[in-house]
């Protein structure tokens, strides 16, 4: 394995993992824009990730696609075998497991260990080298259970029934996880969605997810503002305070993100309510996962690299920084 300007590279199979630039052969761990770029000649991914990439126009007609369900192996040539294990990050998210000459490397991509009813849970794969992210690798990051954050929102709806609760969520993963968790918490009212969230929510539904009733905000006549009172409106984070949100009476801007644990970030977004909802592993889970894989070597791709490296070394685990660029921390 090498780090090249295009990204992480597996030399014997001549293939990149989540490359930043168009390449001939790419393994894509999941559909977020900073991992799934467009323009590759050949793409290996889970069927769900390929569907997400198609929905977002990341695949060209001439792109050769190989869809691999979790656990299914493929021979990449020159003695390299690839299979995917679930990463628990979003629908279809996977760890790329590469086996070559009796050794196993796992590139985890983005992952989390907290339960998520909208995707398959993380699977620990014993390996020799574990390649991890470190987005939230500081001891201060301890993500609360999502049920507690959702309870905050439900309590607010009860206390402030005249206000429209506008929740900023990323279109891929966060939106569906929040909706599903609210349903499991017993919320039965329809959700109102911004147009940017429609296609991916439908895609999740085509893979068997059930979000109950949801209605496009644009389908409600402008004059019927009262419809939204005491209800949940979901939109991309940038929209909670912009022109779009002015159509609602007495809106209560809320952001759901892992970064909401940092008060300054919540203020920056001008959110009145902050829900700590992260799709990444927190500090404790990063260390636990590195330990559970049994890997002798940990490679850290991006994020709070030094902090994780230090913590692992203290535990007697070799850890090195790959200093990779091109990952967007805001897409979480
Ligand atoms: Zn991601």
Tell me the pLDDT tens digit for each residue of 4-36: 989 999 999 999 999 999 999 999 999 999 999
Ligand 1 midpoint to CA 32 (Å):
5
Q: At what angle do helices 174-184 and 146-159 cross, to 10 degrees?
A: 70
Ligand 1 midpoint to CA 247 (Å):
31
Q: In Å, how far are 153, 221, 309 from 189, measured between CA atoms?
A: 13, 19, 46
32 lies in some domain? yes
Decide: 95 and 86 in contact? Cβ < 8 Å.
yes
Ligand 1 midpoint to CA 268 (Å):
22
Stated pTM of the model: 0.94
**To the nearest 10°, the Cα dihedral for 170, 201, 120, 180?**
80
Protein residues placing their CB within 5 Å of the ion ligand 1: 32, 110
Give, in degrees to the nearest 5, the angle at Cα 201 between 213 and 189.
Answer: 20
Q: Are 20 and 84 found together in one domain?
A: yes
Ligand 1 midpoint to CA 331 (Å):
6
209 lies in some domain? yes
- How would residue 74 be classed by pLDDT, with cut points 50, 70 and 90? very high
289 lies in some domain? yes
Q: What pLDDT sits at residue 331?
A: 47
Ligand 1 midpoint to CA 30 (Å):
7
- Mean pLDDT across the stretch 275-285? 95
Q: Are 133 and 184 found together in one domain?
A: no
Ligand 1 midpoint to CA 14 (Å):
24
Q: Are 8 and 135 found together in one domain?
A: yes
Ligand 1 midpoint to CA 332 (Å):
6
Q: In Å, how far are 216, 218, 227, 272 from 221, measured between CA atoms?
A: 11, 7, 10, 26
Q: What pLDDT sits at residue 332?
A: 42
- Mean pLDDT across the stretch 195-207? 98
Ligand 1 midpoint to CA 90 (Å):
7
Residues 6+ apart with CB under 8 A from 155: none
- How would residue 150 be classed by pLDDT, with cut points 50, 70 and 90? very high
Ligand 1 midpoint to CA 159 (Å):
34
DSSP symbol at 297: E
Decide: 162 and 229 in contact? Cβ < 8 Å.
yes
259 lies in some domain? yes
Gyration radius of the chain over CA positions: 20
Q: Are 238 and 134 found together in one domain?
A: no
Higher pLDDT, 332 or 4: 4
Query: Nearest CA to 327 among 302, 307, 292?
Result: 302
pLDDT digits (tens, 9 = 90+) for 227-271: 999 999 999 999 998 899 999 989 999 999 888 777 777 777 778
Ligand 1 midpoint to CA 193 (Å):
22
Ligand 1 midpoint to CA 93 (Å):
8
Query: Nearest CA to 46 among 80, 4, 88?
Result: 88
Decide: 135 and 332 in contact? Cβ < 8 Å.
yes
Helix (H, G, I), strand (E, B) or coil at 51: helix
CATH at residue 83 = 3.60.15.10
Beta strand 164-168 pairing with 232-235:
parallel
Q: Are 197 and 133 found together in one domain?
A: no
- Mean pLDDT across the stretch 200-218? 98
Ligand 1 midpoint to CA 300 (Å):
15
Q: Are 211 and 84 found together in one domain?
A: no
Q: Are 128 and 231 found together in one domain?
A: no
Ligand 1 midpoint to CA 36 (Å):
9
Ligand 1 midpoint to CA 231 (Å):
28
Decide: 86 and 112 in contact? Cβ < 8 Å.
no
329 lies in some domain? no
Task: Count the domains in the chain.
Answer: 2
330 lies in some domain? no
Query: Nearest CA to 105 among 9, 5, 4?
Result: 9
Ligand 1 midpoint to CA 89 (Å):
7
Q: Are 163 and 63 found together in one domain?
A: no
Mean pLDDT of the chain: 93
- How would residue 325 be classed by pLDDT, with cut points 50, 70 and 90? low
Ligand 1 midpoint to CA 330 (Å):
10
Query: What are the structure tokens assigned to 29, written together?
Result: 């761990």
In what helix (H) or strand (E) does residue 76 lie, and over which residues does it extend?
Answer: strand 74-77
Helix (H, G, I), strand (E, B) or coil at 191: strand
Higher pLDDT, 306 or 259: 306
Ligand 1 midpoint to CA 223 (Å):
38
Q: What pLDDT sits at residue 329?
A: 54
Residues 6+ apart with CB under 8 A from 11: 1, 2
Query: Nearest CA to 138 among 35, 255, 34, 262?
Result: 262
Print the domain residue range for 98. 2-140+280-321
Query: What are the structure tokens assigned to 315, written together?
Result: 């535990």
Ligand 1 midpoint to CA 56 (Å):
15
Ligand 1 midpoint to CA 251 (Å):
29
Q: What pLDDT sits at residue 44?
A: 98
331 lies in some domain? no
How far is 204 from 240, CA to CA, in rounded Å? 23
Q: Are 103 and 211 found together in one domain?
A: no
Ligand 1 midpoint to CA 306 (Å):
21
Beta strand 42-45 pairing with 64-67:
parallel
Beta strand 103-107 pairing with 74-77:
unpaired
Ligand 1 midpoint to CA 201 (Å):
17
Residue 327 predicted with pLDDT over 70 = no
Ligand 1 midpoint to CA 285 (Å):
16
Ligand 1 midpoint to CA 229 (Å):
33
- How would residue 326 be classed by pLDDT, with cut points 50, 70 and 90? low
Q: What pLDDT sits at residue 193?
A: 98
328 lies in some domain? no
CATH at residue 195 = 3.40.50.10890
pLDDT digits (tens, 9 = 90+) for 78-136: 999 999 999 999 999 999 999 999 999 999 999 999 999 999 999 999 999 999 999 99
Ligand 1 midpoint to CA 259 (Å):
14
Q: Are 27 and 41 found together in one domain?
A: yes
Task: Report the percent of the chain where pLDDT is more than 70.
Answer: 97
Q: Are 7 and 123 found together in one domain?
A: yes
Q: Are 134 and 152 found together in one domain?
A: no
């Amino acid at each position: 394995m090498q780090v090249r300007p295009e990204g992480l590279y597996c030399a014997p199979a001549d293939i990149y993992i989540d490359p930043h630039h168009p390449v001939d052969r790419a393994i894509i761990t999941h559909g977020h824009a900073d991992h799934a770029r467009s323009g590759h000649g050949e793409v290996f991914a889970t069927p769900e990730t390929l569907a997400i990439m198609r929905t977002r126009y990341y695949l060209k007609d001439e792109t050769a696609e190989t869809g691999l369900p979790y656990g299914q192996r493929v021979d990449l040539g020159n003695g390299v075998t690839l299979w995917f294990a679930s990463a628990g990050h979003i629908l279809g998210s996977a760890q790329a497991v590469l086996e070559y000459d009796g050794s196993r490397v796992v590139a985890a991509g983005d992952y989390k260990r907290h339960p998520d009813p909208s995707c398959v849970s993380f699977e620990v794969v014993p390996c020799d080298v574990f390649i991890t992210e470190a987005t939230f690798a500081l001891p201060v990051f301890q993500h609360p259970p999502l049920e507690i954050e959702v309870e905050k929102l439900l309590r607010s709806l009860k206390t402030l029934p005249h206000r429209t609760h506008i929740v900023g969520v990323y279109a891929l993963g966060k939106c569906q996880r929040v909706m599903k968790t609210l349903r499991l918490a017993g919320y039965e009212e329809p959700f109102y969605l911004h147009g940017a969230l429609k296609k991916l929510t439908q895609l999740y539904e085509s893979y068997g997810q059930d979000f109950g009733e949801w209605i496009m905000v644009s389908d409600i006549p402008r004059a019927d503002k009262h419809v939204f009172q005491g209800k949940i409106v979901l939109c991309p984070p940038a929209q909670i305070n912009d022109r779009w949100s002015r159509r609602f009476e007495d809106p209560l801007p809320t952001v759901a993100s892992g970064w909401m644990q940092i008060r300054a970030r919540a203020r920056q977004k001008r959110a009145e309510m902050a829900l700590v909802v992260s799709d990444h592993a927190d500090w404790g889970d990063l260390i636990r996962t590195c330990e559970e894989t049994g890997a002798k070597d940990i490679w850290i791709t991006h994020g709070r690299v030094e902090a994780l490296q230090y913590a692992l070394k203290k535990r007697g685990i070799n850890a090195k920084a790959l200093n990779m660029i091109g990952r967007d921390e805001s897409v979480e």
